[in-house]
């Protein structure tokens, strides 16, 4: 990623997360994890650059990761429900899809 674009993306994300932090619920829990020392150094570098705490950076990273995982799990459950209902693509639908993307 070009340095200018990277910096611009950084500031956009920083602004979004700074606004979201104000909306964060007061209910929190303490979570203890063991991470590699190199990852801690990277977290500290990011936190310092964003003028945020390490906990803030970790929370944002976990929110992003969990959101992606939740989406995947939901899609898998939908697909399983469709399969359980016998809702499969017909041979004609598969052939049409294959033909759509042939060069």
CA distances from residue 100 to 15, 39, 80 in whole angstroms, order as listed: 41, 44, 26
Confidence label for 2 from pLDDT (cuts 50, 70 and 90): low
> How many domains does the structure of the chain reveal?
1
Q: What is the pLDDT of residue 21?
A: 56
Calculated CA dihedral for residues 28, 33, 37, 39, nearest 10 degrees: -60
What tens digit of pLDDT does each residue of 29-69 get? Answer: 888 889 999 999 999 999 999 999 999 999 999 999 999 99
Domain that holds residue 58: 3-100
CA nearest neighbour of 35 among 14, 13, 62, 17 = 62
pTM: 0.55
Q: What is the pLDDT of residue 45?
A: 95
């Amino acid at each position: 990623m070009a340095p200018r674009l990277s910096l611009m993306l950084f500031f956009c994300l920083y602004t979004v997360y700074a606004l979201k932090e104000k909306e964060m619920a007061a209910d929190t829990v303490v979570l203890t994890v063991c991470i590699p020392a190199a990852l801690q150094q990277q977290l500290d570098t990011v936190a310092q650059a964003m003028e945020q705490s390490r906990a803030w950076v970790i929370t944002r990273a976990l929110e992003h990761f969990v959101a992606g995982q939740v989406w995947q799990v939901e899609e898998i459950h939908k697909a399983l429900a469709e399969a359980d209902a016998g809702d499969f693509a017909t041979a004609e639908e598969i052939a049409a899809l294959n033909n759509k993307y042939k060069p």
